[in-house]
Structure 1
Amino acid sequence: MTDPMASAEVTMEHVGGRTLRVARWNFDKVSEHPPILFFNGIGANIEAVAPLAAELDDRGFIMFDMPGIGQSPDPVIPYNAVTMCWIATRLLDRFGIDIVDVMGISWGGAMAQHFALQHGARTRRLVLIATTAGMIMVPGNLAALTKMANPRRYIDPEFMAKHFETLYGGALGNEMVADSKGIPSSKSGHMSRLTPPSPRGYMYQLLALLGWTSVPALPFLKKPTLIMMGDDDQIVPLINGKMLNSLIPNSELVTIAGGGHLFLLSHKDESVAAIRGHLDMPDDAEYSHAA
């Protein structure tokens, strides 16, 4: 399999007083589509979502490691959604990008919501994946949430193998052949793309959305929005997607049958098809329940 990072341009950028590791795909190509700005899940580095970026090869794709995550240096001071979304706009300015389609998964889905609300003039469409409205949410499996808060899942393959089903739910497609250590190949493939976050980076990322919720603002979010949820997600139950769908006027909810928290991996073709269908809709199209 081709390394999806092979086609990425990776640089260290100093923006808004922070140094961030940034990856860009397809910016050397002419495209009729705006680039995608992607916000990753908590503790996850660029490589975790690189396969999706490589799959969407007909448009630009940009994402960055949060401070203390991946290869971005540790944060000196804490940050929140407001400051990081502002820094993201400075990053877009650095590369001459005016308008983006915004995507985010899990923790990054909250950041994507905030970016679309705070910087609506720079947002065309929104894709929210396995995410919630913040502190006003229906929590998932307590055992999964407890393990989710432990960064050990990034550095200990045996811990991940033991608790993978509790953490992420759902089957990872048909790739369930165990490797020499007894870890299913698809899981070890995902693990191989992860770089452990620093303790400070992980803690600051947890704190960044403490007390945050988008609920009061979502009825005013008019951007066409695709909400994607797995019906076997142990971390972010499907009801959270239904809540987002009811609050965002021009939105559609797509449920991935049998999908856990990592359905972007386990149901890649289905997920990419839904994303393309949403992003490539005519600009004047609206979903049927739009206000």
Structure 2
Amino acid sequence: MTATVELIEAGGRTLRVAHWRLGEKSDYPPILFFNGIGANIEAVAPLAEMLTERAFVMFDMPGTGESPDPVMPYNPFTMCWTATQILDQLGVGTVDVMGVSWGGAMAQHFALQHPRRTRRVVLAATTAGMLMVPGNPAALSKMADPRRYIDAKFMNEHFATLYGGVDQDGSAHQKDSHIGRLKPPSPRGYVYQLLAMLGWTSLPALPFLNKEVLIMMGDDDQIVPLINGRILASVIRNARLEVMKGGGHLFLLTHADESVDALRTFLDGPDTESETRRAA
């Protein structure tokens, strides 16, 4: 992983932060990325490395990856504020905020809580929170099994059930690579991540999200069915929906080239009139 990795004190917590290309000249704002539940920085590092023209910032949630265990529970408000403290220490102002799955909810909250620091938003394989259409029960039951983090054989055996979108495009090597990058969260870290979103939903606030939003979904996602992306797209005024054919929950990795193309088309596009007015 060609990133600068450091421990940063922010919001009363010590968090492991990774950033790519922050010191390099770029015409684009950095991406602030919120990961899926229990996932460590390394799990999404390939995406950061493919987006070579822009900076990328990501951190391990408390008790995840190599961030120390949380002392107290947290919620989206406090963790999004903490993210701004990290950005301040890195000298970053405005960002394009992106999140996948659980992190997609965090990305929504960040954009709503910190609109002046948010240019555009990317929501991948995610929902509006508790008001969601649930996924395949077989996948959800295995999702709750901690062996998916610590037992490579279990993960390999149940990968298609958990995530979908593997055999269709012959992406077994991405699957094996992903399994090798995973590091299990601590029990407390995982539980606190679950508790953080308990009762949370963005649905009433999303009609007021005045940002350009790209919603990316896989049509073979066993955990977050495509209908959830359609719901998001229907309530966000400036949203566009991109569906990855044959993509499962990890389409950002299994369909990496398609995903990066969609990201670049959206993020590199010309500023809209509303964005120009906000910048002024």
Work out the CA distance in 1 between the residues paired with 2:187 and 2:196. 14
Work out the CA distance in 1 between the residues paired with 2:166 and 2:179. 16
- Answering whether residue 49 of structure 2 is matched by residue 58 of structure 1, we say no
Q: For 1:158-237, list aligned pairs within 5 A.
A: 158-171=153-166, 173-176=169-172, 185-237=173-225
| Sequence identity percentage | 68
- Answering whether residue 87 of structure 2 is matched by residue 92 of structure 1, we say yes
Contact 1:39 1:105 in 2 (8 A): yes
Contact 2:15 2:62 in 1 (8 A): yes
Q: State the TM-score, normalized to the length of structure 1.
A: 0.92
Find the partner of 1:9 among 1, 4, 8: 4
Count of matched residue pairs: 273
Contact 1:228 1:254 in 2 (8 A): yes
Work out the CA distance in 2 between the residues paired with 1:241 and 1:186. 24
The secondary structure found in structure 2 opposite 1:21 is strand
Going from structure 1 to structure 2, the CA distance change for 1:267 and 1:137 (only over 3 Å counts) comes to same
Work out the CA distance in 2 between the residues paired with 1:88 and 1:186. 29
Give how far 1:186 is off: 2.8
Q: What is aligned with 1:83?
A: 78
- Answering whether residue 104 of structure 2 is matched by residue 116 of structure 1, we say no
Query: Which stretch shifts more, 152-161 or 72-81?
Result: 152-161
Work out the CA distance in 2 between the residues paired with 1:78 and 1:200. 9
Q: What is aligned with 1:281?
A: 269
Q: CA-atom RMSD, angstroms? A: 1.1
Q: For 1:139-158, list aligned pairs within 5 A.
A: 139-158=134-153
Q: What is aligned with 2:247?
A: 259
Give how far 1:151 is off: 2.1
Match of 2:212, as an amino acid?
A: P
Work out the CA distance in 2 between the residues paired with 1:255 and 1:16. 36
Contact 1:226 1:252 in 2 (8 A): yes
Q: CA-to-partner distance for each residue in 1:131-160, whole Å, 9 max, x for gaps?
A: 000000000001111111222101101111
Contact 1:151 1:202 in 2 (8 A): no
Going from structure 1 to structure 2, the CA distance change for 1:285 and 1:232 (only over 3 Å counts) comes to farther
Give how far 1:175 is off: 3.5
Q: Which has the higher helix share?
A: 2
Give how far 1:270 is off: 0.5
Q: State the TM-score, normalized to the length of structure 2.
A: 0.96
Match of 2:3, as an amino acid?
A: A
Q: CA-to-partner distance for each residue in 1:206-225, whole Å, 9 max, x for gaps?
A: 11100000000000001000
Work out the CA distance in 2 between the residues paired with 1:49 and 1:10. 14
